[in-house]
Structure 1
Amino acid sequence: MDIKRRIEDCAGLTPTEQQLASTVLALGDRLRGFTIKELAHTANVSIPSVHRFCKKLGLEGFKELKVELARSEARRVDQKGEVDINFPFAANDTADAVLAQMASVYQTTLADTRDLLDPVALEHAAELLDRARGIDIYTQSHNLYPAQMFCDRLLSIGRSASCFESGERQARIALASDCHHVAIAISYSGLGPNLATILPILHERNVPTIFVGTPNGCRLNPGLDVYLHVSDRESLQNRITQFASHIAVQYVLDSLYGCLFARDYANSRAFLERSLPATSLPALRRTELSPTEYASVMLNRLR
């Protein structure tokens, strides 16, 4: 995660550390010319406070803080000419221009989400799913599309999963779940209208909950088990459509599926093999191959 965003999102800072954080963000790249003593003096804090602040950010010390700030500035300079996430193309743009700009939207969103997404949190989420007897996905609106695709992928490797559009069905699934289930709540902004109903039920039923959303969306819904962050550059309203948020959520869910598959690769692969004859397209079933032979052919194609 970018160091400036890490400072902005860092929880549990003392008043002294908050003062130091404000000073560091205000100085930005200029901090490269400061000694630790000069920073402490500028922020009106002690040198040990600077050391504690760096440790809280997960850094070895003041030198690493300066290096990370320099990297952040270099990134910012590189990205000055990047695409407008909310309005990536203009009136009368050619097809070639739209293709180039949309490629930029994908690249920027994926890089930003990769920077925000904590691999430890992703692994923890995969571990929760691996132990769960049932996986229930709660979301609304455009996030339903990647969520339902993720649900289908879970079913394809033998995991019991649900993803309903109806708020009433979501509430009933939540009420029927328990500590042996895992819930995945997806809301880019953290303001999804279903969350006010669903999250208290899940808490009461002791259901481990994974939240997928922007850092601010996650902060709006505290106390959950795992937070998987997505890029937060897309405006909630002033945009053509949800290009970036859709891409970011899809990337997180695909990565989560990959981590889960990898945890139990042999059994996941075996379930895919068993399911191929029963789930093939009707036209492909009209073949003289036996189910076992057909499965072998399809697996070879997958390889």
Structure 2
Amino acid sequence: MDIKRRMELAEGFTPAEQQLAGTVLALGGRLHGLTIKELARAAHVSIPSVHRFCKKLGLEGFKELKVEVARAEEQQRHSGDVDINFPFNAGESADAVLTSMAQVYETTLADTREVLDGVELDRAAGLLERAASIDIFTQSHNLYPAHMFCDRLLSIGRTATCFESIESQTRVALAADPTHVALVISYSGLGPNLATILPILQERGVPTVFVGTRRGGQLNPGLNVYLHVSDKESLQNRITQFASHIAVQYVLDSLFCCLFAQDYGASFEFLERALPATALPALRGTELSPSEYASVMLNRLR
């Protein structure tokens, strides 16, 4: 993880260190021309605070900070990073758009993989595996990957809910208990449903998994598991939610796979039992028996 990313994440930073991180990130390459005294003045902190900040980042001192920031700036210039929020320009060809969107996917997936903790993902899957019901709470564009995740849970015999209206979500939360698990999806942590639903879930003792940016998680403390996604997308200054959609989809797909893997036998058995009953109507008239049909379809899934 490069120095700029560590400053962006601001893990365990004090308010003064957060102020320093923001100042250094804003300065970028201009940091090289500043003295430690000038940086401290620009960030409105003391010189000892700058020394502690460098130590927090695992650096020997201010000189090494300048070297690492310069290195990160150089890498960014040569990486051809795509603008996550505006990945194409007016009149660009299809080939150019295809290249840019591939970069959006690659950058977002790599960044999400970097901030997503595998131990936490396993913990979340364990909570889901033991749950009597998995209740999904989200809004806006996140409803699309949420509904797909809900359908996948149903496909392996899990009881799951995913409602669009805040009223319905509120009723689900009120009916939940500690045997349920809540999956809350909010990139920013500012979803309009959270202020109503999270207090109810906590009062009802419902284990809760949060999927969103690290900052979004910090805005909603006290939950059981946090699954972080890439936070490079602006909340408003963008064409649309390309990166956040990709990041959330990646996390939910990974969570489903971990859940399936934790109880592979039962999940596979339910798929096998369900396939003949859920086959497309045009395929139900085949000469294969239900078990033979299931075997063929499952072999395709392997």
The residue number in structure 2 matching 1:44 is: 48
Question: 1:9: how far off?
Answer: 3.5
- Asked if structure 2 preserves the Cα contact closer than 8 Å seen for 1:218 and 1:227, the reply is yes
Conserved 8 A contact 1:117-1:229? yes
1:25, distance to aligned residue in structure 2 (A)? 6.9
Structure 2 SS opposite 1:44: helix
Matched, 1:76 2:79: no
Q: Which amino acid aligns with 1:268?
A: S
What stretches of structure 2 of length at least 5 have no aligned partner? 32-45
Change (3 A) 1:194 1:12: same
The sequence identity of aligned pairs, in percent, is 70
* 2:281 paired with 1:282: yes
Mapping for residues 167-246 of structure 1, pairs under 5 Å? 167-246=166-245
Is the Cα–Cα contact under 8 Å of residues 121 and 255 in structure 2 kept in the other structure? Answer: yes
Corresponding residue for residue 126 of structure 1: 125
The one-letter code sitting in structure 2 at the alignment partner of 1:6 is: R
Q: Indicate how the Cα distance of structure 1 residues 29 and 203 shifts in structure 2: closer, same or farther if over 3 A, else same.
A: same
Indicate whether 1:6 and 2:9 are aligned. no
Aligned to 2:136: 137
Structure 2 length-normalised TM: 0.82
The CA deviation string for residues 228-265 of structure 1, in whole angstroms up to 9 with x for no partner, is 11111222222221111111110110111111111111
Counterpart CA distance in 1 for 2:269 and 2:195 is 39
Tell me the TM-score normalized by structure 1. Answer: 0.82
Query: Residue 116 of structure 1: CA displacement?
Result: 1.5
Q: Is the 8 A contact 1:19 1:43 kept in 2?
A: no
Pair 1:123–1:30, CA change in 2 (3 A)? farther
Distance change in 2, residues 1:22/1:44 (3 Å): farther
Q: 1:282 to 1:219 in 2, by over 3 A?
A: same
Larger CA deviation: 131-140 vs 226-235 = 226-235
1: CA distance, partners of 2:127 / 2:284 = 37
Deviation at 1:82, TM superposition (A): 1.9
Contact 2:214 2:229 in 1 (8 A): yes
Q: Per the alignment, in what secondary structure is the counterpart of residue 136 of structure 1?
A: strand
Is the deviation greater in 87-96 or in 4-13? 4-13
- CA gap 1:83/1:50 in 2 versus in 1, 3 angstroms: closer
1:10-33 deviation digits (Å, cap 9, x = unpaired): 4554578669868987998999xx
* Residue in structure 1 matched with residue 36 of structure 2 by the alignment: none
Unaligned segments of structure 1, at least 5 residues: 32-41
Q: Secondary structure at the match of 2:248?
A: helix
1:218 to partner: Cα distance: 1.4
Q: Helix, strand or coil for the counterpart of 1:104?
A: helix
Aligned residue for 1:237, secondary structure, equals: coil
For the pair 1:104 / 2:112, whether they are aligned, the reply is no
1:295 to 1:87, Cα distance in 2 relative to 1, 3 A: same
Q: For the Cα contact (< 8 Å) 1:133–1:181, is it kept in 2?
A: yes
1:37 aligned residue: none
1:53 aligns with 2:56: yes
Give the count of matched residue pairs.
286
- Distance in 2 separating the partners of 1:252 and 1:224: 17
Residue matched to 2:256? 257
Deviations 1:122-175 (A, max 9, x none): 121111111211111100111000000011111111111111111111001100
Greater displacement, 221-230 / 1-10: 1-10
The separation in 1 between residues aligned to 2:68 and 2:225, in whole angstroms, is 26
Residues 200, 68 of structure 1: alpha-carbon distance in 2 compared, 3 angstrom cutoff = farther
> SS where residue 182 of structure 1 aligns?
strand
Separation in 1, partners of 2:100, 2:153: 33
Please give the alpha-carbon distance, in whole angstroms, between the structure 1 residues aligned to 2:84 and 2:296.
Answer: 43
CA contact (8 A) 2:10 2:18 kept: no
Inter-partner Cα distance in structure 2 for 1:250 and 1:111: 13
1:46 deviates by 11
Contact 1:157–1:268 (8 Å) recurs in 2? yes
CA RMSD for the aligned pairs? 3.1
